[in-house]
Chain A
Amino acid sequence: MKEEIFISGRNIPYIDPSLNIWHWQIPVYLFLGGLAAGILFFAALYTILGKEKEMPTTVKWATFLVPVALVLGLVALFLDLNHKLYFWQLYTTIRIESPMSWGAWVLMFITPLSMVWCATYIKELIPKWDWKFEILNKFEKLAIANRKPMAWALLILSVILGIYTGILLSAFNARPLWNTSILGPLFLVSGLSTGVLLQLCGCRKAILKEKR
């Protein structure tokens, strides 16, 4: 019989007997982040391919869910921090080696950008929409004129957003099943497929019509 025990000094909260330092917030974020990445990726892709007209759900309507998902995800992330008031330390440095640092910066850009993207389509969704301030109208025009460059930015950022979480987990050398190079691509693919599924759900009527 082989026996391996602590004879003193452990039983630390959330570490012993089994590691439990991340709670429900992290899986919630992983799902919402992946979903957002998936939606944005295809919205950006079909914009770049010039298919806005044919695929309004993919490019326009589905993206309205992205800011919501990202904000909820960010709230979850924030709730999981143990030293919450210091979260701003994330933005005092860029750590190339740290997937989480990448994630923090990507979220910093992709969240406002996704909001701007939605803003350019909000009048198509709600025709009576009024920006109230002239400067916002000007900004809207500018943004609409630059949808293509925005799409390129979103395409790249969404790939990073979709892949960094996987790389983050795979960087934990001592956790079996996590420490594998396939985890990054796996997370990206799973995010993309979730995004696609949601977009497909959104155009169910159109698909049904076409079939008939």
Chain B
Amino acid sequence: MKTRRDFIKISALGTAGVAVGASALSKVRASSLFSFDKKQPLDDSEFERTPTYCEVCFWKCAGWTYTTKEGDVTKILGNEIDPHCNGRLCPRGTGGVGMYTDKDRLRTPLIRVRKEDGKSVFKEASWDEALELIASKMKEIGEKHGPESMALFNHGSSGKHFGHLLKAFGSSNIVAPSYAQCRGPREVGFVATYGAGVGSPEPTDIRDTKCMVLIGSHLGENMHNGQVQEMSDAIDKGASIITVDPRYSTAASKSKFWLPIKPATDMALLLAWIHVIIYEELYDKKYVEQYGYGFEQLKKHVKNMTPEWAYGITTIKPDVIRKTAREMCNAAPAVIIHPGRHVTWYGDDTQRARAVAILNGLLGAWGRRGGFYLKESLSLPKYPTPKYPKPKWDWKATNNGKYPLAGLSVSNAFIDASIPANGHEHQLKGWIVSGTNLPLTMPNTPALIQAIEALELLVVVDTMPMEITGYADVVLPECTYLERFDDIRSAPHREPNIALRAPAVKPKYDSKPAWWMAKELANKLDLGHYFPWDNFSEVLDYQLQEIGSSLEEMMVLGVKKFERADGGLYLRDGEEYEFNTNTGKIEFYSTELAALGFDPMPKYTEHPQPPYGYYRLIYGRAPMHTFSRTANNQNMVDLMEENKLWVNPKVANIWGLENEQEVWLENQDGVISSFPIKVRVTERIRWDSIYMVHGFGHSNKLLKNAFGKGASDSELITNVMMDPIMGGTGLRGNFVTFITEDPGKEIES
């Protein structure tokens, strides 16, 4: 085993820093008399525009990158025909310019070298040197432990290229934290009910809905562009919104009903709603009879789950529960009980997603206008490459016999499988981490560090010196999405559509696109035949030609829509439809869960409430940031440079906290936040909880804008409530208290 993988400051190196001055001048028009006239906005005719789709979040809106004749990116605007954004990007998309101009970007490959005193430092390396080192290590791991021991953690477009490489190498151990730390339970819950997951973008027909129920989902603060746009349309059309949230979210402020629920009791409310809808006979009888399975069992199951029962648990008054249930039924089937996105809360999340799915089913919302539309996407032909070797074991083995319904690989299981002390039969020995900053993404940081320390190889691919880069053996600087080709975006929507990402400018510094890195690495691994092309544009052109378009056409259009091939957007009245479940029906009673020994119908389980003097840690999103990846983007920093701690005035009064006062947080396990966070005393949060936006509290000094700004919720999440069905990490069971004096914690960076 290797010695301790200590965290490295990349700062020891920074010889670059030259390329900055030139770009600041390039917007200047030489002929102008007064210097400030050069600052005036340019006419659009003075720009060139290149199609792209956004990489600042997973919504992947298509847009245009505007560059000056001198080759500088000035602005990014949405593509009018793109159904993800309808020509309007969100602030992060508009501010994507800041990803490109960020002065703290990784500039050159870095290799960890050990000094005589035993400390590690990074050494600037050539691409050849860096890739050679990775290739030799990968070969070594392949020979010693089998190629399956190499894993890929990824989030975003560049992961695809490394995924292809890894599969060619002989491993299918590819994982994204967006499953087990985010939307996984919802997918499993809906698959168990409808035989189909929700996917991204969600097929919620918000545009035409008459009633939308948001449970802990803060649309508007999570800037899922298309959905927020449609919610605004729905508000215009007079749709009623019901928001269930212990926090007065932005969405709550736009709602007809805001249910300030006691945290961790959502399941009781959902079951009570189901009770009302069934026993007041408000459900869609025809729909349930035609498509439903197990209605009678469900009816019996919820018999005693009355609003009065739920009142004692949720603190939501029975008449409000009844009124809101009727509100949904009046709108049905144009009603959406939104499945949410980040749903890993309390460990029974798959079951809660089931309750949501059942509620939608009772109201006949699935496949109905104003409910859930039947999405469709275009499948693109694959560029011909040799068949992948068959791995001896795959990601399912990393689950070590647990999580039987995990539909995708489970990131925390990968971490478990990388810790030798856990004694898994199949262990992971090398990681490539691409576009995901694990220390600010994964709960239970100690386990993550333990896993990293045991690795034989850690390669990090990123555009920024994120915290994870400090643990790497090799850091590969990726160019931003504005400087590269990536796969065609083909996401499900009302109409199948595709979008192209093409480089608007040359990569800055010595950064490279992921496709290039993967291809060059493949060459060094003698896997070059899996990348039989010189430029990724050839792959794109091939794929596009096959579906009757071309790279040339897409460079002009950016986005192209196609006719639906697969039937209607909604179910026709009485249409025969077979759901992809065991029974072919919408399973109110899940045969699959029953067969595996799980509850076939959701039950309310009591979850712990905060002890005296502690408050539930609730985290969420701000519309101007995407997790931790935008915290250093100057455009976004201008909008919001740090997160604040929302504290109810009553709580602030008890603790003597004032606005802007800096406090540290300590959780139930004695973990103290690395940085202080400023207090915001606000009525918008319940007295038993505190709230902060996720993604701040960066500890890498190289992130000059982000270092030490705000606190990180991730490091305070050490109590993880596992979902036994699919391996999701319930993150909402952590309680914190305030420390008003500097605890003098040492920051590793």
Contacts and interface: CB of A to CB of B under 8 A. Distances in A.
Interface of A: 1, 3, 5, 7-9
Contacts of A3: 681-683
Contact of A8 (B640, B680, B682, B683): B640
Nearest to A83: B36
B638 A1 contact: no
Contacts of A8: 624, 639-640
A2 to B, nearest CB: 9
Given A3-B683, A8-B639, 10 more contacts: A1-B649, A1-B681, A1-B683, A3-B681, A3-B682, A5-B680, A7-B640, A8-B624, A8-B640, A9-B638
5 contacts: A3-B681, A3-B683, A7-B640, A8-B639, A9-B638
A133 to B, nearest CB: 41
Contacts of B649: 1
B639 A9 contact: yes
B90 to A, nearest CB: 13
Contacts of B683: 1, 3
Contacts of A7: 640
Nearest to B649: A1
Contacts of A5: 680
A53 B639 CA distance: 69
A9 B638 CA distance: 6
Contacts of A9: 638-639
A151 to B, nearest CB: 44
Interface string B60-90: 0000000000000000000000000000000
Going nearest first, the 4 A-B pairs with the smallest beta carbon separation are A8-B639, A1-B683, A1-B649, A9-B639
A1 B639 CA distance: 25
Nearest to A2: B683
Nearest to B250: A7
B33 to A, nearest CB: 13
A3 B680 CA distance: 10
A176 to B, nearest CB: 23
Nearest to A86: B34
Interface string B675-705: 0000011110000000000000000000000
A3 B639 CA distance: 19
Interface string B625-651: 000000000000011100000000100
Contacts of A1: 649, 681-683
B746 to A, nearest CB: 30
A31 B468 CA distance: 60
A8 B681 CA distance: 17
A8 B642 CA distance: 11
A1 B681 CA distance: 10
Contacts of B638: 9
B517 to A, nearest CB: 36
User: Most chain-B Cβ atoms within 10 A of its Cβ — which of A3, A5, A9?
Assistant: A3
A82 B682 CA distance: 39
Nearest to A8: B639
B702 to A, nearest CB: 24
B704 to A, nearest CB: 17
Nearest to B682: A3
Contacts of B681: 1, 3
A3 B682 CA distance: 7
Contacts of B639: 8-9
A8 B639 CA distance: 4
A8 B680 CA distance: 15
A14 B683 CA distance: 30
A7 B682 CA distance: 13
A15 to B, nearest CB: 14
Interface string B397-426: 000000000000000000000000000000
Nearest to B91: A8
Interface in B558-591: none
A1 B640 CA distance: 24
Contacts of B624: 8
A5 B638 CA distance: 15
A5 B640 CA distance: 13
A1 B684 CA distance: 10
A1 B682 CA distance: 8
Contacts of B682: 1, 3
A143 B680 CA distance: 69
B633 to A, nearest CB: 14
A5 B679 CA distance: 13
Nearest to B641: A11
Contacts of B640: 7-8
A61 to B, nearest CB: 47
Nearest to B639: A8
A108 B723 CA distance: 81
A1 B646 CA distance: 14
B44 to A, nearest CB: 24
B636 to A, nearest CB: 10
A147 to B, nearest CB: 46
Interface in B177-202: none
A139 B682 CA distance: 74
A3 B648 CA distance: 12
A7 B624 CA distance: 10
Nearest to A9: B639
A3 B679 CA distance: 14
A6 to B, nearest CB: 10
A9 B682 CA distance: 20
Nearest to B638: A9
B222 to A, nearest CB: 15
Interface string B653-691: 000000000000000000000000000111100000000
A195 to B, nearest CB: 41
A5 B624 CA distance: 16
A5 B660 CA distance: 12
B359 to A, nearest CB: 33
Nearest to B640: A8
A5 B649 CA distance: 16
Interface in B720-746: none
A9 B640 CA distance: 7
A3 to B, nearest CB: 6
A3 B683 CA distance: 9
A104 to B, nearest CB: 22
A108 B624 CA distance: 51
A93 B493 CA distance: 61
Nearest to B680: A5
A58 B719 CA distance: 84
A5 B639 CA distance: 13
Interface in B19-43: none
B312 to A, nearest CB: 29
Nearest to A5: B680
A1 B652 CA distance: 13
A48 B71 CA distance: 72
Contacts of B680: 5
A7 B683 CA distance: 16
Nearest to B683: A1
